[in-house]
Structure 1
Amino acid sequence: MTDLTPRSAAKRQQIMDAALTVFLENGYVGASMDQVAAIAAVSKQTVYKQFKDKEHLFRSIIEDIGDRVGDPFVEISERVAETDDVERAIHTLAGTFVTTIMDPRVQQTRRLVIGEAARFPALGTAYWEGGFGRALTTVAGCFARLHERGLLKVEDPATAANHFAGLLLWIPSNRVMFHGRTDAVSAEELAAFAASGARAFLAAYGTHP
């Protein structure tokens, strides 16, 4: 929808924010436009004025998330790429990576998109490419620079970035996904996973024995 007035744009965003809450709590099938209207504190007629149906609303929400979320790892990856203390830098990057990806809202949205990927495959692809996939590309570029500087041994930066993510997230993300609760992993456990994952990555890709 284009050429919205400021008031209409604000109302549209209000509805989308409410709808995201409804979809996260109930899934696509369990969500209703009545629930969205109630949480947004608007009439159902107002919801349908902005979004012709539930599918249109869902697509708009996921596309909006992709448009609004920038790559949170660009700045830190640039700093890490130019570091002289690679061990400390990788541990810092690991901590940032884990806390960012394991944010409860990120994990809830990820579960929602994965759950509906068969119904909306193009949305699933767009969410991946604009989110986690883009982050992996950024981190891969960082590792390639460290390889060029002789601080890491990384012949395939893309694979190394995936290994890095897997070492950090396999345990906590799967625990959250299968338990269905964002509090299934404590902050202390996340810090421990970040530290152990960073050590394993350095053992595999570091230049020192």
Structure 2
Amino acid sequence: MKTSILYALMGPRGAGKSTLVKMAMDMGINYIPAYTTEWLHGRSRRGRLLNRMEPEEFSRERFFAQTGWRGYQYGWHKQDILDAMAEYRCNLILLNEDAVPSFRALLRRNLVVIHLMADYTALIERMTAEKVSPEQIQEELRYIEENKILDGWKQADYIIKNMGSKETAFQQLLAIMGLTQPLPQEKFIEQLKD
């Protein structure tokens, strides 16, 4: 019987969570979306990652884990998680710190929490690249500070310090997920010479 693992990514806005998930999805790695009341405009980069629901509909749902962020609600159905775990060996999900205890209680050793860490300079550069206004960036940084989002590493099993290229961070994610393997010595030596 295969062992299925749920790899949960968390970290502040701009740390690269959505980017890494999309890179993984493009490779064929299964992603389990959250249900949310967050308004997603047509050009939203997060549109593929969330299932939008009206607030009234969301309030009628029975989620095994539910959390809020910036006035929006996010929830996960237990059956979505169990179905994905039954079908795929590797699964990805985006979580915030408040949801981790519920997932740990459900999955125990089959949950690996990965915190994406970035400094304020990297966060600001990435939000600016997303065309976030300076006022919104200030508000976001204030929210990160007040809610101790950068302390999420304390609940994590692994940390990816994502202040360089997305490719480097993605290689680290794949290594954590066990999706890389050492090269035979000859090929390794060849790569060192290139």
Higher relative helix content: 1
Q: Which has the higher contact order (CA 8 A, sep 6+)?
A: 2
TM-score range, shorter chain: under 0.3
Q: TM-score, normalised by structure 1?
A: 0.26
Higher relative strand content: 2
